[in-house]
Amino acid sequence: MAQITPEVVLSYTKPASGYLCPLNANTFGIEFLKFEIKEYDTNTVVYQVAREPDSEPLPEVLDPEIEDMIRSVKYTFPASFLKFKTVRTLLEFCVGPQPVSNLRMIERHFFKDKLVRTYDFEFGFCIPNSTNSWEAIYDVPEYPAGVINDYVTSPWAHKSDSFYFVDNKLIMHNKAEYQYVQD
Amino acid sequence: MRVLMVGLDNAGKTTIVKRLNGEDITTISPTLGFNIKTMSFKGYKLNIWDIGGQKTLRPYWRNYYEKTDALIWVVDSADLARLEDCRAELHNLLREERLFGATLLIFANKQDIASALPVAELEKALNIGSITKRHCRVVACSAVDGSGLLEGFDFVVHDISSRIYLFS
């Protein structure tokens, strides 16, 4: 299998099929502890999930269904989310006893198999045994009414791949699907 | 613009960034790694890297110097017992070659506390007068009441942008 590099995933024109690295590629013990999405202006929480770090490592062999449960998320958002002007996202994660030299996240969003957005962020170095956070406050472009309607009437057509690299080597790959419901 | 925020533990680095955004500052725990904040300020996109200041974390600061446009050093102006420690760490940092070109802002934080050292005295204690060859400003502030924060960040973005303009 060809090496999956940032350049490779940035060239994808539709969602990846399957997971491009095994769960145990994450030899750094990177674990997500919290993820939060808020509307900035009203401080309204749209999505929030938090967990404690794993007390035990995952077993070597996992049932594919269980692996999918761990690696993919289905989000249901209110349609009003598509009208927010400014969004605040918060990601909290911890790392294991080894230093992580160059952590980079690339997230690709597709709607109906067309690329709609790319997030590319370099965290850089992570201190051994540290807990870190990244909070981003960003303006969302205004969607035309027709586009919003298209998202609402096409549940799960919005998909994303999140890739995490350490020194340009893929160590984590997760997926998400989204649906928007009228509120 | 990449902004690196460091200083001794409990100086108020995380609280300053949160207060700048009007967030709740009632419960803030010690930073055991980094907190990155991506935000826009006065039309500029800032990436603020707030790194934990505990003694065990300080040796790792060097991993965050690369590409830094501005350095914000935060001082607990009321922590008189550790001023010498604070002075030594600051001057250590300023010897770092990768930070030579960075704008320097020193936040004299916790000015809302009665026993806080005023800026003039703090400058003496931290030997700010010896800092030459770089754009440097000391700004009195309080992350609790918000005073001084805008002035400090205004200086940072103006100084960086004037430099970028100069070289482009």
> What is the per-residue pLDDT across A77-98, written as a single tens digit (0 to 9) for each?
999 999 999 999 999 999 999 9
Summarize the confidence of residues A144-153 as an average pLDDT: 94
Torsions phi, psi for B67 (to 5 deg): 65, 20
Q: Report if residue A136 sits inside a domain.
A: yes
CB contact under 8 A, B34 and A132: yes
The annotation status of B8 as a binding-site residue, yes or no, is yes
Which tokens sit at B158? 């103006």
CA distance A112 to A127: 39
Q: Report if residue A1 sits inside a domain.
A: no
* Residue in A124, A134, A139 closest to B64 by CB: A124
| Other CB atoms within 10 A of residue A149 CB | 14
Structural domain containing residue B74: 2-166
State the catalytic residues of B.
54
Task: Give the residue numbers in A contacting B (CB under 8 Å), as ranges.
Answer: 94-95, 121, 123-127, 129-139
Alpha-carbon gap: A136 to the closest alpha carbon of chain B (Å): 4
CB contact under 8 A, B37 and A135: yes
Structural domain containing residue A127: 6-181
Which of B63, B67, B68, B98 best probes binding to A when mutated, by most A CB atoms within 10 angstroms?
Answer: B63
Residue with tokens 């799960």: A156
* Residue in B35, B40, B63 closest to A133 by CB: B35
With beta carbons less than 8 A apart as the criterion, state whether B3 and B20 touch.
Answer: no
- Please list the pLDDT of chain B residue by residue as tens digits (168 residues): 999 999 999 999 999 999 998 888 998 999 999 999 999 999 999 999 999 999 999 999 999 999 999 999 999 999 999 999 999 999 999 999 999 999 999 999 999 999 999 999 999 999 999 998 889 999 999 999 999 999 999 999 999 999 876 665
**Residues of chain B neighbouring A136 (CB-CB closer than 8 A):** 37-39
Provide the domain count of chain A.
1
Angle at B50 between CA B86 and CA B77, to 5 degrees: 35
Name the band, by pLDDT with cuts 50, 70 and 90, for residue A1. low
Complex prediction ipTM:
0.92
B86's CB contacts (< 8 A; 6+ apart) are: B7, B8, B11, B75, B76, B79, B126
Q: Report if residue A42 sits inside a domain.
A: yes
Angle at B105 between CA B103 and CA B109, to 5 degrees: 165
Burial (CB count <10 Å: 0-12, 13-18, 19+), residue A20: middle
Is the pLDDT reported for residue A2 higher than 90? no
Which of B31, B36, B42, B46 best probes binding to A when mutated, by most A CB atoms within 10 angstroms?
Answer: B36
Least confident of A63-72, A75-84, A149-158, B122-131: A63-72
CB contact under 8 A, B34 and A135: no
Provide the domain count of chain B.
1
- What does the pLDDT read at residue B64? 97
Is the pLDDT reported for residue A76 higher than 90? yes
Looking at residue B98, what DSSP letter applies?
G
Which tokens sit at A17? 């099929």
* Residue in B32, B37, B39 closest to A131 by CB: B32
Q: Which of A2, A64, A13, A17 is nearest to A175 (CA)?
A: A17
pLDDT tens per residue, range A113-122:
999 999 999 9
**Residues of chain A neighbouring B21 (CB-CB closer than 8 A):** 137
CATH code, domain carrying B90: 3.40.50.300
- What does the pLDDT read at residue A62? 79
- What does the pLDDT read at residue B165? 67
CATH code, domain carrying A107: 2.70.50.40
